[in-house]
């Protein structure tokens, strides 16, 4: 039967089945962990001194009065319908809360990974080409500092130096206090929404608030990206095809950026995808330091508030983001390297 179907259709079918199985496993693990937590979501709705009738009504509302298999089946059905429950803190549907906070994390993480790629990849290549030189040592040291230093400490130091001391950049938040209620949320991405409103002053203000946290995340990601790029490039520069190209007189720049980088690009794509996934997961400490109301801060506040529906919904979104990034990465593999087909 599979021989009758076109190859592209079989590939799509495999991807869909893989996503379905992975999402099912994610939902199963999320459900199990939620039932193993010591926190009782019923107590978040009613007080400790509530009557037995009120507690029973709350358990029925949350579906906790059914056997565990039935609870899981109902949970799967709700997720398939796009119902992630109602937040116990905000009294809003969790899906609406996540749709409100995720664009902030997406904006911050995207600019962070752009900085990491633009600086980290050339730095890693330069370190490999100039192996053991002073340039290589400086690049490795800068990367080691970014990879080892606590990111919350770097954020605090950045605020103390560039905001409190030098007054070059604004403080925490996505906008100055006076602008916060003046932006009409369209996409949730502040730099885009301010541009859509045609307000260049608010756009500049949004960009200025983005510089410091995005640079911090960019530094964190470029430390990892440059390190892996250097390692991958060193491995390729030792290959026989590089020696052959040098003997034939091929320019060094062409050898490095076309031949060696062509073979480095596919594994490097995995490194970048994982780094981007980590940033999209919600850089909790960065969002906390800069009061950046994104996904990471939302999940953290939900954990401390024992808001089980919000925690489970946020976990599902994080897992789905990783699955989506991995799927897109696999598709890019096939595009960049025909051997992957």
pTM: 0.84
What are 245-289's pLDDT values in tens digits? 888 888 888 888 888 888 888 889 888 988 888 888 757 778 888
Least confident of 22-31, 42-51, 135-144, 153-162: 42-51
pLDDT at residue number 40? 66
Place of tokens 């599979």: 2
Q: Are 103 and 188 in contact (CB under 8 A)?
A: yes
Task: Name the percent of the chain lying above pLDDT 70.
Answer: 91
Q: Is 93 helix (H, G, I), strand (E, B) or coil?
A: strand
Portion of the chain with pLDDT greater than 90, in percent: 20
Kindly report the CATH number that applies to the domain delimited by 94-340: 1.10.3720.10
**CB within 8 A of 34, min separation 6: which ones?**
308, 311, 312
Pull the structure tokens for residue 11. 């590939």
Region 30-41 average pLDDT: 74
CB 202 within 8 A of CB 214: no
Domain positions in the chain are 7-80, 94-340
Q: Give residue 5's pLDDT.
A: 55
Confidence of residue 338 (pLDDT cuts 50, 70, 90): low
Reported confidence tier of residue 41, pLDDT bands at 50, 70, 90: low
Residue in this structure with the two tokens 């800068």, named with its chain if needed: 142
Q: What is the pLDDT of residue 7?
A: 62
Give, in order, the Cα–Cα distances in Å from 23 to each of 74, 124, 240, 318, 323. Answer: 16, 35, 43, 11, 8
pLDDT confidence of residue 326: 83
Greatest extent of the chain over all pairs of C-alpha atoms, in Å: 86
CB 291 within 8 A of CB 173: yes
Confidence of residue 47 (pLDDT cuts 50, 70, 90): low
Q: What is the mean pLDDT of the chain?
A: 84
């Amino acid at each position: 039967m599979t021989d009758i179907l076109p190859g592209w259709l079989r590939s799509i079918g495999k991807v869909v089945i893989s996503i379905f199985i992975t999402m099912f496993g994610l939902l199963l693990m999320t459900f199990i962990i939620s039932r193993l937590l010591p926190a009782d979501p019923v107590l978040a709705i009613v007080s400790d001194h509530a009557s037995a009738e009120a507690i029973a009504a709350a358990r029925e509302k949350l579906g906790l009065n059914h056997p565990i298999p039935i609870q899981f089946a109902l949970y799967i059905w709700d997720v398939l319908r796009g119902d992630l429950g109602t937040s116990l803190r905000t009294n809003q549907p969790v899906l609406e809360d996540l749709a409100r906070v995720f664009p902030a994390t997406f904006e911050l993480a995207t600019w962070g990974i752009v900085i990491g790629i633009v600086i980290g990849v050339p730095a890693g290549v330069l370190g490999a080409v100039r192996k053991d030189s002073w340039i290589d040592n400086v690049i490795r040291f800068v990367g080691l500092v970014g990879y080892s230093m606590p990111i919350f400490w770097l954020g605090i130091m950045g605020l103390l130096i560039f905001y409190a001391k030098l007054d070059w950049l604004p403080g925490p938040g996505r906008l100055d206090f006076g602008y916060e209620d003046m932006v009409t949320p369209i996409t949730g991405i502040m730099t885009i929404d301010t541009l859509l409103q045609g307000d260049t002053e608010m756009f500049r203000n949004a960009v200025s608030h983005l510089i410091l946290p995005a640079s911090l995340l960019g530094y964190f990601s470029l430390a990892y990206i440059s390190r892996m790029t250097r390692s991958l490039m060193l491995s390729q520069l030792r290959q026989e095809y590089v020696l052959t190209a040098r003997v034939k007189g091929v320019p060094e720049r062409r050898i490095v950026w076309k031949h060696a980088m062509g073979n480095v690009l596919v594994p490097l794509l995995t490194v970048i995808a994982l780094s981007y996934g980590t940033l999209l997961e919600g850089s909790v400490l960065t969002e906390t330091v800069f009061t950046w109301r994104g996904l990471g801060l939302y999940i953290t506040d939900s954990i401390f508030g024992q808001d089980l529906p919000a925690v489970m919904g946020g976990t599902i979104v994080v897992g789905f983001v990783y699955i989506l990034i991995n799927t897109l990465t696999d598709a890019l593999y096939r595009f960049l390297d025909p051997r992957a087909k």
